[in-house]
Amino acid sequence: MKYIDISSYIMSSNFKVIKHSPRFIIRWIERIIWQEEMNQILTKYSDYEGVGFLNKMVEELNIRIEIEGKENLPDNKKCFFISNHPFGIMDGLVLTKIVSDRYGALRSIGNEEFMKIPHVRPLIAAVNVFSRNSREYLIALNEIFNSNVPITHFPAGEVSRLYGWKIQDCQWGKSYITKAVSSNRNLVPFYMYGRNSYLFYFINSFRRLLGIKVNIELILLPSEMFKKRNKTIKVKIGKPIPYQKFDNTLSHFEWAQKVRKYIYNLEDHSETDVFS
C-alpha cells in the first residue's frame, strides 16, 4: 500500500509552483524521503499499531537503546516525559519505546501529519505545528492531560539545528510548563546523545543564509532515520522535577529555559547545578 504518496500530496497542494513540478522532480523527492522503503515497512507491519508497531520498528531497524538513569523513571506514570530533539524521527521512536516498555499505553504530542499513518494514530495527541490548533484538538489534549496516561513530548517543537555554532534545540516554548502545572504532572527529563548528518545542518544553514523560510532540510529526516539502522542510541534519564517547583519566582517561559538547560546539563553530569 502507498501509505506515503508524495505525488498525491503535491497534486493536492495549494501552491501552484509545487503542484506543477516536473515528474522527475517528484521522483527525486520520493527517493530522498525513501518513499518505497517506508511504504514497504508500513505494509509489512500493517497488522500492528500503537506500542506493538513501535516495537516492530525498533526491531526492523535493529536499534539498540543504552539507558543511563533508568531508576529515575517514577512509579507514578502520570508524568510529562520530555526530551531534546536531535534526530526528528528516531528520537521519537526511542522516547516512546522507553516509556511504553515501563508503563504500557501512552500518548505522544506530535505533528498532525502523523495521523495519516494508521499504525501510530493510537499514540498521537495531534497538534498543528504551523498554525492555531482547532477546538477539537484542544479538547482532546485537555482530556489527555487530565487523564492518568503518560505523555511524551519534545518541547522544542522542531529538530535540533545549528544555533550559536552548536547543534542544539531552539528556545523551548512555555506551554509544556503551563500544562504540567495545570494537570499536576511532574516532568521526567531525557537527554538523547547524537546528531543528524552534516548534510542536514549544511542545508539548514545554507537556506537560512539565502533567506529561505521553508524547512527544506526536513525531507532528509527519513534518510537520517535509516542511517541509524544497526546503531546504538544512548539516552540519559534525569531525576523527575516536581510540578510544584514552577512557582511565581520565574515566568513559565523562564522555567521552560531552565528545564532545557537542566536537560542539556545531563550530558556532562552537571544537572544538579540548575535546580539547586
The pLDDT tens digits of the residues spanning 69-124 come to 999 999 999 999 999 999 999 999 999 999 999 999 999 998 877 888 899 999 98
Mean residue pLDDT of the chain comes to 89
Could you tell me if 80 and 185 are in contact, meaning their C-beta atoms sit under 8 angstroms apart?
yes
Q: What is the 3-state secondary structure (H, E, C) of the chain?
A: CCCCCHHHHHHCCCCHHHHCCCHHHHHHHHHHCCHHHHHHHHHHCCCCCCHHHHHHHHHHCCCEEEEECHHHCCCCCCEEEEECCCCCCHHHHHHHHHHHHHHCCCEEEEEHHHHHCCCCHHHEEEECCCCCCCHHHHHHHHHHHCCCCCEEECCCCCCCEEECCEEECCCCCCHHHHHHHHCCCEEEEEEECCCCCHHHHHHHHHHHHCCCCCCHHHHHHHHHHHHCCCCEEEEEECCCECHHHCCCCCCHHHHHHHHHHHHHHHHHCCHHHCCC
| d(C-alpha 260, C-alpha 174), whole Å | 11
pLDDT, tens digit only, all 276 positions of the chain: 788 888 887 777 665 656 667 777 888 888 999 999 999 999 999 999 999 999 999 999 999 999 999 999 999 999 999 999 999 999 999 999 999 999 999 999 988 778 888 999 999 887 765 556 667 767 888 889 889 999 999 999 899 999 988 999 999 999 999 999 999 999 999 999 999 999 999 999 999 999 988 888 999 999 999 999 999 999 999 999 999 999 999 999 999 999 999 999 998 776 555 565
At position 13, the amino acid (one-letter code) is: S
Could you tell me if 87 and 12 are in contact, meaning their C-beta atoms sit under 8 angstroms apart?
no
Ranges of each domain in the chain = 1-44, 48-273
* Closest C-alpha to 130, from 71, 68, 213: 213
Q: What are the tens digits of pLDDT across the range 126-145?
A: 776 555 666 776 788 888 98
Beta pairing class for 186-192 and 232-237: antiparallel
User: pTM of the predicted model, to two decimals?
Assistant: 0.89
Class of the CATH-defined domain 48-273: alpha beta
